[in-house]
Each structure stands twice: as structure tokens, then as C-alpha cells.
Amino acid sequence: MRLFTLSLMVLGFGLHACSTPESSEVPYDQLQDSLRYENEEYIRNIRQLTFGADNAEAYFGFGDEKIVFQSNNPEWGVGCDQIFYMDTSIKEENFMPKMISTGTGRTTCAFFLPGDTSIVYGSTHLADINCPVVPGRGPNGAYVWPIYNSYDIFKANLKGEIIDTLTNEPGYDAEATLSPDGKSIVFTSIRTGDLELFVMDTDGGNVRQITSELGYDGGAFFSPDGSQLVFRSSRPKTLEEIEKYTSLLEQGLVEPTNMELYIVNIDGTNLRQITDLGNANWAPYFHPSGKKIIFASNHKSKRGFPFNLFMINVDGTGLKQISFDDTFDSFPMFSYDGTKLIFASNRFNGGDRSTNVFIADWVE
């Protein structure tokens, strides 16, 4: 779970879409460079993969030819986030990808297993076939994320058939991603009473706790060599912050407006904070070198938006802005061969507030 309901994030921070030429006026292949802003020197030949509704958390398969993502597109027959997959070579605007979640409950955070014939993802479908209720604003009108206790982590094939249930503890288990060797899964769980990171084998066994400090630890990804994790965290320090955090958590909520990035070894040692920027810094992913982190942030923003992609060295130095959208860029992931970047964005959506998946060449 990077976002439970992407439209809530967009609307919650007051984001508005910018304009674009109608796609019917220009041949599709000629639109690629028009999807890139002038200052975006690291991303080239941007291509849009989805069109309309909210599409996000798109992650490459191990072979870099497939992506798995979540969408609430009503034209695809869903009422809240479900999991879909598609080949990255698709260039059809009206293409309908295959849904590989159950179509019931709400889903989040899918990731391919080695071989790209099965996935892991979080879902609430065992508790209720209906979409869980989306909460309103928190205390004093604060924007909040729901932490649905009905989330568990499942393994499924590309036909949408559940192969295995990987978690069965009471409470929230979600946000699963894979190690580069395909042997381990990192996920966020509330099984200890707080939202901590855990690592388990891909069969659900050998579960070990990684973080233990009070606060929401989530959205974790492995380093290219599998030795470290990068994640986002909202860690309360003052008595007022602690009271607010624990009170919200008792209601199944977290407030994601103040988050920083951390790195930790996969055995839980050498935890260190790498950003201190303020506002929301999240959706981190290791650069292929393992020496830098790309992430989404609104730390330059005064009204909650825009969110853009930034990159920073693992020691917290060398901050550099990567994307320059007027509204929302997030959920970046590098392809395993390091040549592509996939991300979600509100860019050039014609004013309808839709969030779409884009793929680009990474140029350094």
C-alpha cells in the first residue's frame, strides 16, 4: 500500500490536473516527448500506459516485460482498487488489461514473484466481498489513510486464482514487495500493536520483525543487493505527536502528511534517517547502483501539492529534483536492468484528475 485510494490522495491534497493536447489530434508515437517537461533530463521517451481513472503502484516483473498495478477504473468493471497486469509493449489507449485479483474487497501493493507467472498482493476479500468504507477526514480535518484490519497477503497466478494465503495474523498485513533474488518478502504489519516492517520467506514462513520504534513504517523496498530496505515512516516524537498517532491508530487510521525516509539492514541493524525535508516524503526506491534513492515528495509545497520525484544519496546528501509536474508524480520503480523508470502521474490528463501509469527511458 503506497496509497489505499489514489483519488483520495489527489483530492485530499487539493491537486488539480493540467491541460494537454487531445490525443486524437496527434499520432500516438509523436506524443512521447510531449509527456516530458523541459527540465526532466533523466527521463526520456515517456509513454503513457493507462488512460483514465486512478492507476498506480505499477511495478515491473523480474523480466522487465510485464507490470502489475492497481486500478479503480469503472470501465474495467471495478468499484475500488483491484490488481491488473499488462505487457509494457502495449500502445493501445483502449486496451483492457487482465484483472488478477478476485474482484472483491479492496486490494493493494502487488508484486511479481520470480518467473513473472504469479504475484503477491494485499486484499480484504476474505472479510467482505464489498469495498470497505473509505473514512472521512480525521480530527481537525486532517487527511488520513485507513489501515484496514481485514488486509492479508495472498499469492495468485495470472489467471487470478489464489495459490496461497501468506498471512493469517489478526489485523493489517499488506504492502508486500520482493527481494531481488525472489526469496524474501518485506511487508508492513500491525501484529505487534504498531505498524512495523517484517520480512518473510515467499511461502509465508520464517517471519522476522525488522523495525520496532513507534510510528508507521511502510512502503519498503529492497536494495539491489538485497542487504537493505528503504521505507517511509511517520515517527512521532513529542507527547502531543505520540498521543495523536496512537489515537488515530486505535481508529484504524494514520496521517501521512509528515513522513521521512529511512534505510535499515534486513536484520534490523544500522537504522538511519536519510531525509529531513518536512511534509510527505514517500514511495522510495533504490537506484540501480544501490547508492541513491528515488522518491516522491511535496517538501517544496505549501498547499500539499505538487508532488514530484526527487533523488538523494543514501547518506542524505545530493538531493536533486527529477520530475517537474504541476500536480502529482509518485510510485517510481526502476526496471531490473536499470534502463527504464515506471511511475504514476497526473500529468497531461486533460483536466479529469485521473492518475495514470507512465514508462520512460532512464538517462544518466
| Chain center to CA of 337 | 20
pLDDT value, residue 88 = 95
87-91, 209-213, 299-303 — most confident range: 209-213
Segment 78-96 shows an average pLDDT of: 93
Q: Grade residue 204 by pLDDT with cuts at 50, 70 and 90.
A: very high
Residue 4 has pLDDT above 70, yes or no: no
Mean pLDDT on 98-122: 97
Whether the per-residue pLDDT at 317 is higher than 60: the answer is: yes
- Answer positive or negative: Cα dihedral of 95, 96, 98, 100: positive
Summarize pLDDT for 142-162 with one digit per residue, the tens: 789 999 999 999 999 999 999
pLDDT band at residue 277, thresholds of 50, 70 and 90?
very high
Reported as a pLDDT band with limits 50, 70 and 90, residue 170 is very high
In whole angstroms, what is the distance from residue 281 CA to residue 300 CA?
11
Q: What is the CA 195 to chain-centroid distance, rounded? A: 17
- Per-residue pLDDT for 308 more than 90? yes
Cis peptide bond upstream of 306, omega within 30: yes
How many residues are given for the chain?
364
Condensed to tens digits (0 to 9), the pLDDT of residues 220-235 reads 999 999 999 999 999 9
Mean per-residue pLDDT over the chain, rounded: 91
Domain boundaries, the chain: 6-362
Only one residue has cell 485521473, namely: 354
Closest CA to 217 of 178, 172, 179, 276: 172
Predicted local distance difference test score (pLDDT) of residue 302: 81
> 286 pairs with which residues across the strands?
293
Domain at 6-362: CATH code: 2.120.10.30
Residue 32: its pLDDT value, please? 53
Question: Which among 139, 93, 86, 140 has a CA at the least distance from the CA of 110?
Answer: 86
How much is the pLDDT for 20? 32
Q: Which is more confidently placed, 57 or 138?
A: 57
Long-range contacts of 315-320 (CB under 8 A, 24+ apart): 315/274, 316/273, 316/274, 316/275, 316/276, 318/292, 319/277
β-strand pairing of 260-265 with 272-273: antiparallel
Q: What are the DSSP calls for 200-217, one per residue?
A: EETTS-S-EE---SSSEE
Contact of 135 with 145, CB cutoff 8 Å: no
Give the mean model confidence (pLDDT) for residues 175-180: 98
